[in-house]
Amino acid sequence: MKVAIVTDLEGTAGVVDFETQTYPGARYFEQAKFLATEEVNAACEGAFKSGADKILVIDGHGPGGLVPEKIHRKAFIFHGRPVSRYWLMEQSWDALFLLGHHAMNGTEKGNLNHTYSSRSVVNMWLNGEKIGEIGINIYLAGWFGIPTILVTGDEAACQEACQYVPRIQQAIVKWGFTRTSAISLSHQAACEVIEKAAATAVKRVSEYKPAKPEGKCELLIEFLSSADAFIWQQRRDAEKISATTVRFTGKHFLEVYEKWRG
């Protein structure tokens, strides 16, 4: 069984702040990356124990959020940029794990909540429903026939994933208090919870189906600044809805995804 793991940094236990931990050059960035890498390794360990035989870890945090030389000895790691616009989901994986993920922008008690850019995007809607990175990743994998079977992050992130995969395995490693503060499990406890959840997810893989949005598709993106929206509105496939909002439409999810990701 082949597992892909898409990682992010903001849903890691002990990582609660953008300025000091998740932005490149932040004072504790290297420490945050180390914590995330160890959580990923715990997921790999659990998955291997339950019979996974190949794991590719895909570093999904914008500027890179893992320590490649510390990755699990039996796993492969994709790092550096660019990565394929489909996050390598076009390769055939049997399952996807989302590690260290965070809730969409504006989520109450969602620690480090944001939607793609913590500095410029206010909201995204897919076919009228608000959506964040978790939903997009689950749908993208689903489009390629891959079920998402595990999510880790704070409680709000795990709840968000349940909207798309109701019985997804979850490892809650922190509870957001505000956008930049949270109660975390200890690092060691977080790794233990993740290892267990990953092992269970792999054992139960046959119970999961790929989550795929059907039919025509519309993606709306609302930006904080009209300056950012203006740049997006110049793109060939984009449509201006208001000074701060842009729209992409298409015959199906992947067409809209491609227009948006370029």
Residue 101 binds to Zn ion (criterion: CB under 5 A): no
Q: How far is the CB of 61 from Zn ion (least distance, A)?
A: 4
Residue 8 binds to Zn ion (criterion: CB under 5 A): yes
Nearer residue to Zn ion within complex by CB, 124 or 202: 124
DSSP character for 123?
Answer: E
Nearer residue to Zn ion within complex by CB, 29 or 208: 29
Nearer residue to Zn ion within complex by CB, 115 or 159: 115
Q: How far is the CB of 166 from Zn ion (least distance, A)?
A: 25
- The tokens describing 165, both together, are 């995969």
Sheet holding 239-242, edge to edge: 129-130, 121-126, 217-223, 245-250, 239-242
Mutual angle of helices 253-261 and 133-143, in 10-degree steps: 120
Nearer residue to Zn ion within complex by CB, 9 or 205: 9
Question: Which range of residues in 2-10, 36-44, 89-97, 144-152 is near Zn ion by CB under 5 A?
Answer: 2-10
Site for Zn ion in 45-74 (CB under 5 A): 61
Cα distances (Å, whole numbers) of residue 6 to 66, 96, 115: 11, 7, 16
Question: Which range of residues in 7-15, 35-43, 68-76, 149-157 is near Zn ion by CB under 5 A?
Answer: 7-15
Pairing of strands 54-58, 148-154: unpaired
Contact track, Zn ion, 9-28, x by CB under 5 A: x-------------------
Per-position b or e across 161-172, b if 16+ CB within 10 A of its CB: beebbeebbbbb
Residue 33 binds to Zn ion (criterion: CB under 5 A): no
The tally of CA atoms less than 13 A away on the side-chain side of residue 85 is 9
Residue 160 binds to Zn ion (criterion: CB under 5 A): no
Q: Give the residues lining the site for Zn ion (CB under 5 A).
A: 8-9, 61
